[in-house]
Amino acid sequence: MPRLLAIDIGNTHIKIGLYSQGRWIEEWRLATDLRRTPDEYRLFMRGLLLESNVEVVDRAIVASVVPLLTPFFLRVLQSVSLAKPEEVVPPGYGLKVDYPPENLGPDRFVNALAAWELTRRPVVVVDVGTTATVDAVVDGVFLGGAIAPGPHFLAQALAQGTARLPHVMPAIEPWAIGKNTEEAIRAGVGHGFVGMVKDLILKTRSSIGQDSVVVLTGGWSQRLAPYLDMPVRLEPQLTLEGLRFADAWLYAQELH
Q: How far apart are CA 229 and CA 140, in angstroms?
A: 27
The answer as to whether 79 is a domain residue is yes
Number of domains in the chain: 2
Q: Rounded mean pLDDT of 177-201?
A: 94
Q: Are 165 and 254 in contact (CB under 8 A)?
A: no
The answer as to whether 246 is a domain residue is no
Q: Is it the case that residue 60 has pLDDT exceeding 80? A: yes
**Is residue 59 very low, low, confident or very high in pLDDT (cuts 50, 70, 90)?**
very high
Residues 131 and 216 occupy one common structural domain: yes
Q: How far apart are CA 251 and CA 256, in angstroms?
A: 9
Residues 16 and 52 occupy one common structural domain: yes
| The domain boundary residue, chosen from 60, 87, 114 | 87
C-alpha dist (Å) from residue 96 to 48, 89, 142, 159: 35, 12, 6, 41
The answer as to whether 202 is a domain residue is yes
Instruction: State pLDDT tens for residues 14-42.
Output: 999 999 989 999 999 988 888 888 888 88
The answer as to whether 30 is a domain residue is yes
The answer as to whether 248 is a domain residue is no
33 carries an active-site annotation: no
* Per annotation, catalytic residue among 8, 107, 127, 247: 107
Percentage of the residues of the chain whose pLDDT score is greater than 90: 71
Taking the model in full, what pTM does it have? Answer: 0.92
Residues 62 and 14 occupy one common structural domain: yes
Q: Are 123 and 191 in contact (CB under 8 A)?
A: no
Q: Is it the case that residue 104 has pLDDT exceeding 80? A: yes
**Is residue 253 very low, low, confident or very high in pLDDT (cuts 50, 70, 90)?**
confident
Residues 187 and 82 occupy one common structural domain: no
Residues 141 and 73 occupy one common structural domain: no
Q: Which of 49-58, 81-90, 124-133, 203-212 has the lowest mean pLDDT?
A: 49-58
Residues 152-185: b if buried by 16+ CB within 10 A, e if exposed: bbbbbebeeeeeebeebebebeeeeeeeeeeeeb
Better pLDDT: 253 or 62: 62
The answer as to whether 256 is a domain residue is no
- Own/partner long-range contacts of 233-237 (Cβ < 8 Å, ≥24 apart): 233/118, 233/119, 235/114, 235/115, 235/118, 237/17, 237/24, 237/27
Helix axes 70-78, 38-51, angle to 10 degrees: 50
The answer as to whether 253 is a domain residue is no
Domain that holds residue 30: 4-87
Residues 67 and 121 occupy one common structural domain: no
